Amino acid sequence: MQVEIKAPYLLFLGDEPDPTHAKTAIGIVYWRREFCVAQMRLPGCGADLGIPDMTPAQAANAGVRTMIWGVAGVGGLIPPTWIDNLFTAVDAGLDIVAGTHASLTKIPGLADAAAKAGVSLIDIRQPPADLPVGTGEKRSGLRLLTVGTDCVVGKKYTALSIAREMQSRDIKCDFRATGQTGIMIAGGGIPIDAVVSDFVSGAAEMLSPENDTDHWDIVEGQGSLFHPGYAAVTLGLMHGSQPDAFVVCHAADRVRIEAFPDFPLPSIAELIAQTVSNGRLTNPDIRCVGVSINTSGLTTGERDIYLSRLAAEIGLPCIDPVATSVAPLVDHIVDTFQ
Amino acid sequence: MQVEIKAPYLLFLGDEPDPTHAKTAIGIVYWRREFCVAQMRLPGCGADLGIPDMTPAQAANAGVRTMIWGVAGVGGLIPPTWIDNLFTAVDAGLDIVAGTHASLTKIPGLADAAAKAGVSLIDIRQPPADLPVGTGEKRSGLRLLTVGTDCVVGKKYTALSIAREMQSRDIKCDFRATGQTGIMIAGGGIPIDAVVSDFVSGAAEMLSPENDTDHWDIVEGQGSLFHPGYAAVTLGLMHGSQPDAFVVCHAADRVRIEAFPDFPLPSIAELIAQTVSNGRLTNPDIRCVGVSINTSGLTTGERDIYLSRLAAEIGLPCIDPVATSVAPLVDHIVDTFQ
């Protein structure tokens, strides 16, 4: 069983004064506007998602099934002023989904209130129980994994962009989420970095089950094979996903692993080679289908030069999913796998 | 904090009729005879460790501090006839260490009895709380990791043999345990496969902390980079251990990953290359120092040919830690790192 979230959503922003702290909620509205019926803001809230304001009761009347807790309190703590509203949401019949470090079930009385109301408190960091060990058995269907030179280089954004582009072309596909924000956007998934290491590849197998032979699972990557802290997560996710195709994600102005100054980033070519070398264990036909670069640190002129030089070097489409488009990547995927 | 076990031990064998099921206890006595004061056997027990039989009270009087539960019940269940003896041990003032699937703290009343007696119930599968993310920072001291073509190819046995040989030569070293039996033998360690994937390399860093520049940590390997279920564990353990040296372990008659018939084993040369390729992320000087083969499936003549051919091919000492000796490995390590 994966984590599952019932749409549509009421997005709770609390009294968060800093709009940039509402990144998760902004992402959900951006990628899944159809899931987002309303926002709930307390006095002092500095964020605005541009959707109607509702109370939990109003949202429930409008068909909402889940209140998404879309901001993090400082240090992961739950501000006392928010807690009343969690009870109000439960009483209105809404599930509550949270990804913060303070567990919903530890708020005194909330679990009882939820049980009485027949609703669920969902901690999105909690992986499913009883995950299997990976089997390595080949599954039908096609899979694409985004891999990165580092964390926070656009793996989720790239995967979502590719899935959206494929859907616009009527290619059968699903975005498969492996992190908290991705799970809220997808309405389900597995928080792969919270899985016990023995079961990481098994969890990844469960996340992208067998499917139609022309169906693509677009799997959100995590970490990096070149990250001294998180490479184990990356490898297990790759072995379980058995990707037929992978897209390398990178930030153009990044030269070192973020917060690990002793670790220079690999070159794109090195990352491709290492990904193929490790990935062929569970899919001998694994191949790179392109590179997705966050070029927001470059000028437009620099970006064009950067992407065209890289494309010449690698011999594959190199794009910026925001500034240009993932269409050339999807063109190449279609050409390669038709 | 690592798991820590207070020596010496009383080894509990229950009424296990099959001596081969007492493998863990046999291993503890073989490697740490000095930890093993006595065994406790119930009527019908078919195993005999060749050490005195004592009750928990007698053992406590003889200085024993911990009762080790050295056999697994069928399906991990605790036979009802054993439970009384767990209470008897607690009342005698002994900690209890268990690695079975049934948790000690779920036995009704046992946790209360342990609290009252001031003793600990230690589930050896439970990793420490609040493990850090790996930093990749270089630590002083030398480290050797055993790696395998598969699970159950002698990684623990080889590591223990090397540590024993080093100790006999007055080389400063510690065996670092990463699995249940290893932890009971070492008196401490971290069950690395039970660690959440985000923290595997951090746990491995904690397991082999900085040390004298001429001190060796001999780290028990887990899984295999070529195992479709467990490679994530292997990689995280390697990145955190930052091994200066590794020894490849293999079973001569194994051709496929055990229980994964679609996965042929890598060659020794392939495993060396893949280990260096991934391991140099956190230790650019990582190198293979030899190969340890379980040749029990071969005749003596076959073994000699197998080991000498392999040594010629690899250009490194190739030994069987049981049938021959790890001494040539340790000779090579001394030559290489002095």
Residue-wise pLDDT for B32-41, tens only, equals 999 999 999 9
Domain final position from B88, B123, B158: B123
Domain shared by B179 and B214, yes or no: yes
- Please provide the distance, in angstroms rounded to a whole number, between the alpha carbons at the two ends of chain A: 32
* B109 and B232 together in one domain: no
Interface of A with B in 139-198 (CB under 8 A): 192-198
Question: Distance between CA atoms of A278 and B276, rounded to whole angstroms?
Answer: 13
When pLDDT is cut at 50, 70 and 90, the band that residue A183 belongs to is very high
Residues A289 and A168 in one domain: yes
In a domain, A133, yes or no: no
- Tell me what percent of the residues of chain A surpass a pLDDT of 70: 97
Q: Is residue B150 part of a domain?
A: yes
More confident residue, A149 or B18: A149
Report the candidate in A304, A157, A301 with the shortest Cα–Cα distance to residue A218.
A157
Instruction: Tell me the C-alpha to C-alpha distance, in Å, between residue B290 and each of A27, B266, B285, B297, B319.
Output: 51, 16, 15, 20, 8
Question: Can you say how many angstroms the Cα of residue A264 is from the centroid of all Cα atoms in its chain?
Answer: 25
**What does the pLDDT read at residue B102?**
64
A226, closest residue in chain B (CA to CA): B281
Contact B278/A282, CB-based, under 8 Å?
no
C-alpha closest to that of A243 among A213, A277, A219? A219
CATH of the domain at B10: 3.40.50.720
Measured CA to CA, the distance from residue A136 to residue A242 in angstroms comes to 8
Residues B201 and B84 in one domain: no
Residue B158, helix vs strand vs coil: helix
> Does residue A96 contact residue A89 with C-beta atoms inside 8 Å?
yes
Number of H helices, E strands in chain B: 11, 13
Q: At what angle do helices A231-241 and A268-279 cross, to 10 degrees?
A: 60
Asked which of B72-81, B117-126, B298-307 is least confident by mean pLDDT, the reply is: B72-81
What pLDDT does A76 receive? 58
Could you report the per-residue pLDDT of A205-261, keeping only the tens digit for each? 999 999 999 999 999 999 999 999 999 999 999 999 999 999 999 999 999 999 999
Chain A 189-228, residues with CB within 8 Å of chain B CB atoms: 192-198, 200-202, 225-226, 228
Where residue A170 sits, what CATH number does that domain have?
Answer: 3.40.50.300
> How far apart (Å, rounded) are the C-alpha atoms in residues A59 and A6?
14
Residues A237, A235: Cα–Cα separation, whole Å = 5
A113 and A193 both lie in a single domain? no
Chain mean pLDDT for chain B: 94
Chain B partners of A137 at a C-beta cutoff of 8 Å?
Answer: 262
Q: In angstroms, rounded to a whole number, what is the distance separating the alpha carbons of residues B295 and B252? A: 5
Residue A136 lies in a domain: no
Q: CB of B128 within 8 Å of any CB in chain A?
A: no
**Residue-level pLDDT at B78:** 76
Same domain, B105 and B188: no
Using an 8 Å CB-CB cutoff, list chain B residues near A135: 228-229, 260
Distance between A217 CA and the closest CA of chain B, angstroms: 20
**Residue B276 belongs to some domain of the structure:** yes
Identity at B242, one-letter amino acid code = Q
| Beta bridge mates, A173 | A216
Span A172-195, average pLDDT: 95
* Residue at B132 is within a domain: no
Q: Do A136 and B230 touch (CB under 8 A)?
A: no
Q: Are strands B3-4 and A142-148 parallel, antiparallel or unpaired?
A: unpaired
Between chain A and chain B, the number of residue pairs with CB atoms below 8 A apart is 116
pLDDT band at A3 (very low <50, low <70, confident <90, very high): confident
Predicted confidence at residue B318, as pLDDT, reads 98
End residue of a domain, out of A123, A152, A167: A123
* A78-82, A128-132, B116-120: range with highest mean pLDDT: B116-120
State phi, psi for A136 to the nearest 5 degrees: 75, 0
Q: Does B260 lie in the same domain as B171?
A: yes
Percent of chain B surpassing pLDDT 90:
85
Residue A44 counted as domain residue: yes
**From CA A176, how far away is CA A145, in angstroms rounded?**
9
Same structural domain for residues B17 and B154?
Answer: no
Strands (E), chain B: 3-4, 9-14, 36-41, 66-69, 95-98, 121-123, 142-148, 173-176, 188-189, 216-219, 245-251, 287-294, 318-319
CA-based nearest distance B250→chain A, Å: 18
Confidence of residue A80 (pLDDT cuts 50, 70, 90): confident
Which of these ranges, A86-100, A299-313, A323-337, B196-210, has the smallest mean pLDDT? A86-100
Window 300-329 of B, Cβ < 8 Å to A: none
pLDDT in tens, B212-235: 999 999 999 999 999 999 999 999
- Predicted confidence (pLDDT) at residue B1 exceeds the cutoff of 70: no
Is the pLDDT at B236 greater than 70, yes or no?
Answer: yes
The domain boundary, picked from B94, B123, B152, lies at B123
Angle CA(A290)–CA(A294)–CA(A295) in degrees, nearest 5?
A: 110
- In angstroms, what CA-CA distances link A230 with A132, A233, B235? 21, 6, 10
Provide the phi-psi class of B313: left if phi over 0, else alpha when psi is between -120 and 50, else beta: alpha
What is the band of A328 on the pLDDT scale with cuts at 50, 70, 90?
very high
**Whether pLDDT at B301 is above 60:** yes
In this structure, are B81 and B230 located in the same domain? no
Residues B197, B330, single domain; the answer is: yes
Write down the pTM of the prediction.
0.95
In the 3-class helix/strand/coil scheme, how is chain A assigned residue by residue? Answer: CCEECCCCEEEEEECCCCHHHHHHHHHHHHHCHHHEEEEEECCCCCCCCCCCECCHHHHHHCCCCEEEECCCCHHHCCCHHHHHHHHHHHHCCCEEEECCCCCHHHCCCHHHHHHHHCCCEEECCCCCCCCCCCCCCCCCCEEEEEEECCCCCCHHHHHHHHHHHHHHCCCCEEEECCCHHHHHHHCEECCHHHCEHHHHHHHHHHHCCCCCCCCEEEECCCCCCCCCCCHHHHHHHHHHHCCCEEEEEEECCCCECCCCCCCECCCHHHHHHHHHHHHCCCCCCCEEEEEEEECCCCCHHHHHHHHHHHHHHHCCCEECCCCCCCHHHHHHHHHHHC
**A338 pLDDT exceeds 90?**
no
Average confidence (pLDDT) over B16-45: 92
Does B202 contact A229 at a Cβ distance shorter than 8 Å? yes
Give residue B114's pLDDT.
Answer: 96
Q: How far apart are CA A127 and CA A124, in angstroms?
A: 8
| Rounded-to-integer distance, Cα B159 and Cα B327, Å | 12
Determine which of B197, B224, B238 to mutate to test the interface with A (most A C-beta atoms within 10 Å).
Answer: B197
Question: Which has the closest alpha carbon to A148: A37, A300, A294?
Answer: A294
Task: Report ipTM (2 d.p.).
Answer: 0.93
State whether B116 and B154 are in the same domain: no
Asked if residue A132 belongs to a domain, the reply is: no
Interchain proximity B232–A233, CB inside 8 Å: yes
Q: Which residues contact B114 (CB under 8 A, 6 or more apart)?
A: B90, B96, B120, B121
Average pLDDT over residues A176-184: 95
Q: What distance in Å separates the CA atoms of residue B152 and residue B166, rounded to the nearest whole number?
A: 23
Q: What is the pLDDT of residues B95-139, one digit of tens each?
A: 999 876 667 888 899 999 999 999 999 988 889 888 999 999 999
What is the Cα–Cα distance from A168 to A172, expressed in whole angstroms? 10
Rounded Cα distance, B19 and B16, in Å: 7
For A99-121, how does the pLDDT look when each residue is reduced to its tens digit (9 = 90+)?
766 678 888 999 999 999 999 99
Amino acid symbol at A266:
P
Q: Provide the number of structural domains found in chain A.
A: 2
Q: Is residue B131 part of a domain?
A: no
Query: Which residues of chain A neighbour B261 with C-beta distances below 8 Å?
Result: none
For residue B131, the chain A residue with the least C-alpha distance is A229
Confidence of residue B73 (pLDDT cuts 50, 70, 90): low
Residue A306 sits in the same domain as residue A193: yes
pLDDT given at position A157? 97
* Full residue range of the structural domain in which residue A77 is found: 3-123
